[in-house]
A = this chain, B = another copy of it.
């Protein structure tokens, strides 16, 4: 007993004694606080005397003659109230984390992502801002490979990239797709040719092919057609330029090609045979799990693209 009193450092369980002390004080006695605390009188008695022993002061006079605080008891009561207020403060700060998201969301977007009308990233950002107005957004435009590595190493929370080869370290959430079709421009040998005729002499190796200089479904698609890439570009507009030059074949997103088609400056090359779909997905890292604001943003992205269908196989977990 006396030993523990000497070690006068308030241990964690003693907070409970402090709380009991305050309640008893407010009720003006043990018997009255019994209901309030919902514990037996003997327990209250033990708690109060434990607390007195622990802090080494007599806190209150009690007995049949009534209940009253000692001078020291009044002081301790004051400090105790302050302490409980601090605990409540901690609690409310925790609650705050729950309700108000803060910090910075680092979002990455494929720097050459076309202005696909299916992409509703702006809508997602709008929805996110409603949910988490206190989160600052940081958007970076980079090639898919950079985005993937940055999400993997945690220096970016989430990114939107065309799905190519899925990494086991990332989670992929398909958002929208775009159709890619092979086109040629005015002056090209295949321009204006009947699709039936094109299909018959479809030897793509005989034509120059323009593709992206980075790892993408585009390259894979070109290879599978037997095309030899003779021009590399980094930007979509550059690719369109090459196609329109009449010297190159190249994949254009349907929504990009649309205007060119209307003006008669590009011609599809065996669309049914060459067409492929490029799916854009949000990537987050698998481990450590993304934080709450990232999860919320991911939900915003999903919701904004909910009406769209995706043709992506979910990555199998190890």
- Taking Cβ atoms with an 8 Å cutoff, the residues of A that contact B are 8-13, 15-16, 18-19, 55-58, 61, 63, 65, 68, 70-72, 75-76, 79-80, 82-83, 86-87, 89-91, 93-95, 97-98, 102-103, 287-289, 291-293
Chain B residues closer than 8 Å to A289, beta-carbon distance: 58, 61, 70
Q: Which residue of B lies closest to A58 (CB)?
A: B289
Chain A facing B: main interface SS: helix
Chain B residues closer than 8 Å to A70, beta-carbon distance: 288-289, 291
Is A288 a contact partner of B103 (Cβ separation < 8 A)? Answer: no
Is A90 a contact partner of B82 (Cβ separation < 8 A)? Answer: yes
Measured in the bound complex, the distance between the Cα atoms of B16 and A75 in whole Å is 25
Is A56 a contact partner of B98 (Cβ separation < 8 A)? Answer: yes
Is B16 a contact partner of A13 (Cβ separation < 8 A)? Answer: yes
Residue with the greatest number of chain B CB neighbours at <10 A, chosen from A70, A76, A79, A103: A79
Instruction: Provide 25 A-B residue pairs closer than 8 Å at the C-beta atoms, listed in order of the A residue.
Output: A8-B95, A8-B98, A10-B90, A12-B16, A12-B19, A13-B13, A13-B16, A18-B90, A56-B98, A68-B288, A70-B291, A71-B103, A71-B293, A72-B291, A76-B94, A76-B97, A79-B94, A80-B90, A82-B86, A82-B89, A83-B86, A83-B87, A83-B89, A86-B86, A86-B87
Chain B residues closer than 8 Å to A292, beta-carbon distance: 57, 71-72
Measured in the bound complex, the distance between the Cα atoms of B56 and A83 in whole Å is 23
Q: Which residue of B lies closest to A93 (CB)?
A: B79
Residues A61 and B12 in contact in the complex (CB < 8 Å), given A76-B94, A82-B90, A94-B55? no
Is A90 a contact partner of B94 (Cβ separation < 8 A)? Answer: no
- Give the shortest distance, in Å, between A50 (CB) and chain B (any CB): 13
Q: Which residue of B lies closest to A73 (CB)?
A: B291
Measured in the bound complex, the distance between the Cα atoms of B101 and A29 in whole Å is 26
- Give the shortest distance, in Å, between A284 (CB) and chain B (any CB): 14
Measured in the bound complex, the distance between the Cα atoms of B97 and A164 in whole Å is 70
Chain B residues closer than 8 Å to A93, beta-carbon distance: 75, 79
Measured in the bound complex, the distance between the Cα atoms of B12 and A11 in whole Å is 11
Measured in the bound complex, the distance between the Cα atoms of B97 and A293 in whole Å is 46
**What 6 A-B pairs come out closest when comparing CB atoms?**
A86-B86, A61-B288, A12-B16, A12-B15, A83-B90, A71-B291
- Give the shortest distance, in Å, between A44 (CB) and chain B (any CB): 15
Q: Which residue of B lies closest to A86 (CB)?
A: B86
A65 CB contact (under 8 Å) in B71, B72, B287:
B287
- Give the shortest distance, in Å, between A48 (CB) and chain B (any CB): 15
- Give the shortest distance, in Å, between A314 (CB) and chain B (any CB): 23
Chain B residues closer than 8 Å to A71, beta-carbon distance: 103, 291-293
Residues A91 and B10 in contact in the complex (CB < 8 Å), given A288-B68, A288-B70? yes
Chain B residues closer than 8 Å to A16, beta-carbon distance: 11-13
Chain B residues closer than 8 Å to A103, beta-carbon distance: 71
Chain B residues closer than 8 Å to A86, beta-carbon distance: 82-83, 86-87
Measured in the bound complex, the distance between the Cα atoms of B288 and A63 in whole Å is 10
